[in-house]
Homo-oligomer: A and B are copies of this chain.
């Protein structure tokens, strides 16, 4: 079996670490692993398959012998370095939003549009976490019942922001537990407000039209991935959860569909696991989805306010399928083809 030189850029961040874990878990055929980061992290080590590997400086020239470069170091780093890596022959799989809506760059979820991965010109974009778990579920439904409109509200964990937001929630929890106060002050808050005992409808920055960029990603990326003209509208909310995003998705369909048909369809969909037995209080929950590869769906039920309507409750680990796993799956697609 062919083996590859793989770079992980942003190797010390929450997604970078998850990428290393997923590469190890899935036994991706690696010849050389190169963990890369900014100056700040130089000297650090990461663990991979029981070995300690020094983190090296992320700069253009390190990519000359790299086959796959998984980027998760933020948009500005991707914009600067990813084209340089591609120029040097690496295929970049970029987890930032930098290239996602670029017409020259495929945006890929392997269960949905694997064929797009092969049209790359050196860079492939990994979609936004909240988009990935939604399209994995929407795709089989759209293929079979044609989606007219999607109204989605999200419940997104702090790890989607990054390590500092995870730290913020832990520190706030500790202060609350210690003081018995519900409102606590932190010196180094990275989220726009206290998140413990709180939530806010604000993820990423606001655009002119009043939507956040996160909400617009769910609209635009979904259509790019599904090559569709789907009406999607979203409200994205940050909740005091560490890992896993949840989504309440209301779907209006062209064709009649009953919940049983949707349940059956999703039970056989790749990457999807149905947990839907409300008589036994069985439905997906973020605390228990964390660490899993699957996108979990439950609360599948008819919405009778439209001719053919369905509600779904979709939960997935935002660091795994929402980021690291999806990126590694893209590399696997390319590697399989190159065998």
Residue from the set A151, A286, A304 with the largest chain B CB neighbour count within 10 Å: A151
| CB-based contact A201/B313 at 8 Å | yes
Among A188-209, those with CB < 8 Å from B are 192-194, 197-202, 206, 209
A 196-238 to B, binary, CB cutoff 8 A, 1 in contact else 0: 0111111000100111000000000000000000011101010
With known contacts A149-B305, A199-B246, A300-B210, A311–B235 Cβ distance under 8 A = yes
Among A137-187, those with CB < 8 Å from B are 149, 151, 153, 155, 173-174, 176-178, 182-183
| CB-based contact B198/A298 at 8 Å | no
| CB-based contact B183/A173 at 8 Å | no
- Interface status of A241 (Cβ within 8 A of chain B): yes
- Interface status of A98 (Cβ within 8 A of chain B): no
Docked pose: A312 CA to B210 CA in angstroms: 11
With known contacts A182-B287, A239-B239, A199–B233 Cβ distance under 8 A = no
- Interface status of A285 (Cβ within 8 A of chain B): yes
Q: Of the listed stretches A99-107, A121-129, A276-284, name the one at the interface; the rest are far from the partner chain.
A: A276-284
- Interface status of A250 (Cβ within 8 A of chain B): yes
- Min CB gap A275→B, angstroms: 11
| CB-based contact A250/B151 at 8 Å | yes
| Contact partners of A197 in chain B: CB under 8 A | 240-242, 286-287
Closest residue to A247 on the B side, CB-wise? B153
- Interface status of A62 (Cβ within 8 A of chain B): no
- Min CB gap A300→B, angstroms: 7
- Interface status of A309 (Cβ within 8 A of chain B): yes
| Contact partners of A211 in chain B: CB under 8 A | 301
| Contact partners of A321 in chain B: CB under 8 A | none
State the main secondary structure of chain A at its contact with B: mixed
With known contacts A242-B182, A286-B198, A287-B194, A235–B210 Cβ distance under 8 A = no
| Contact partners of A209 in chain B: CB under 8 A | 301-302
- Min CB gap A131→B, angstroms: 16
- Interface status of A29 (Cβ within 8 A of chain B): no
Docked pose: A257 CA to B246 CA in angstroms: 30
| CB-based contact A301/B210 at 8 Å | yes
A 52-86 to B, binary, CB cutoff 8 A, 1 in contact else 0: 00000000000000000000000000000000000
| CB-based contact A285/B199 at 8 Å | yes
| Contact partners of A246 in chain B: CB under 8 A | 199, 201, 237
- Min CB gap A235→B, angstroms: 4
Among A248-305, those with CB < 8 Å from B are 248, 250, 259, 278-279, 281, 283, 285-288, 290, 298-305
| CB-based contact A235/B199 at 8 Å | no
- Interface status of A306 (Cβ within 8 A of chain B): yes
| Contact partners of A231 in chain B: CB under 8 A | 305-306
Other A-B pairs, 15, CB within 8 Å; known A201-B248, A235-B250:
A151-B250, A155-B237, A177-B178, A182-B242, A182-B287, A183-B287, A192-B281, A193-B285, A198-B286, A201-B283, A201-B313, A202-B281, A209-B301, A210-B278, A235-B299
Instruction: Give 6 nearest A-B pairs by CB, closest first.
Output: A210-B301, A153-B153, A177-B177, A231-B305, A198-B287, A153-B248
